[in-house]
Amino acid sequence: MVGKIRFSYIIGGIAVLLFVGGYYGFLKKKKAKIINLQSQYDKLSADINKARAVARKRAMAERQFKIVTLQWNNALKMLPKSANIPDILSELTRVAGASGVKIVGFKPKKKKESRKYSELPIEIAVMGGYHSLARFFASVNNMERIINVKDLSLERDANTKKISAKFTAIAYFSKGGKVVKKK
């Protein structure tokens, strides 16, 4: 019986050795692989979070670019690249008609060059009632294109009881810049 007990101890000891050896041989390698894969997963998760943050910033930058593009194109309407006299005359005629004022004189002068923009002075004479003239000048002020009024002189006609106004309208136009088109 003593031999049988020792034999079972030997078998139990061998089993423990096989278990410990299997653990260190097989399970320890798997555990190291699991730890390695977990660190790779953590690194890739951090990279994905960074990429998502960049994507959010890109979308915000694209929105800001669209806003700036619209502002730039609106600025180009205010300060176009050419002094298109027929367009200026038709716009002033439209504004005068809407205000109840009649244009009686329109004489473009020689343009003046500046570093970034040019000025086109135009001598204009209009006739209408006091309130009509006020609406006309307010409408000129609200035009898309930048037009300043200088050297304004007013005279009242005793016969018609209307006011004639003579002034110099200065239309500005750009020397550079381009329209930005959507891609």
Q: Is the pLDDT of residue 3 over 60?
A: no
CB atoms within 10 A of CB 54: 10
Rg (CA), the chain: 42
CATH class in words for 85-174:
alpha beta
Mean pLDDT over 32-59 rounds to 88
Q: Is the pLDDT of residue 24 over 90?
A: no
Q: Is the pLDDT of residue 177 over 60?
A: no
Q: Give the pLDDT confidence score for residue 51 in this predicted structure.
A: 87
Residues 6+ away with beta carbon under 8 Å from 91: 143, 145
Q: Give the pLDDT confidence score for residue 166 in this predicted structure.
A: 95
Domain-by-domain residue ranges, the chain? 1-78, 85-174
Q: Give the pLDDT confidence score for residue 182 in this predicted structure.
A: 57
Q: Which residue has the higher pLDDT, 2 or 115?
A: 115
pLDDT, tens digit (0-9, with 9 covering 90-100), for 94-110: 999 999 999 999 898 88
pLDDT, tens digit (0-9, with 9 covering 90-100), for 111-168: 888 777 788 899 999 999 999 999 999 998 888 888 889 999 999 988 888 899 999 9
CA distance 109 to 121: 5
Q: Give the pLDDT confidence score for residue 167 in this predicted structure.
A: 94
Q: Give the pLDDT confidence score for residue 128 in this predicted structure.
A: 92
Which tokens belong to 179? Answer: 């329209």
Q: Is the pLDDT of residue 13 over 70?
A: yes
Contact 68, 93 (CB under 8 A): no
* Core vs surface per residue 20-51: b (16+ CB within 10 A) or e: eeeeeeeeeeeeeeeeeeeeeeeeeeeeeeee
CA distance 155 to 167: 12
* Model-wide pTM > 0.85: no
Tell me which residue of 80, 104, 82 sits closest to 92, measured CA to CA: 104
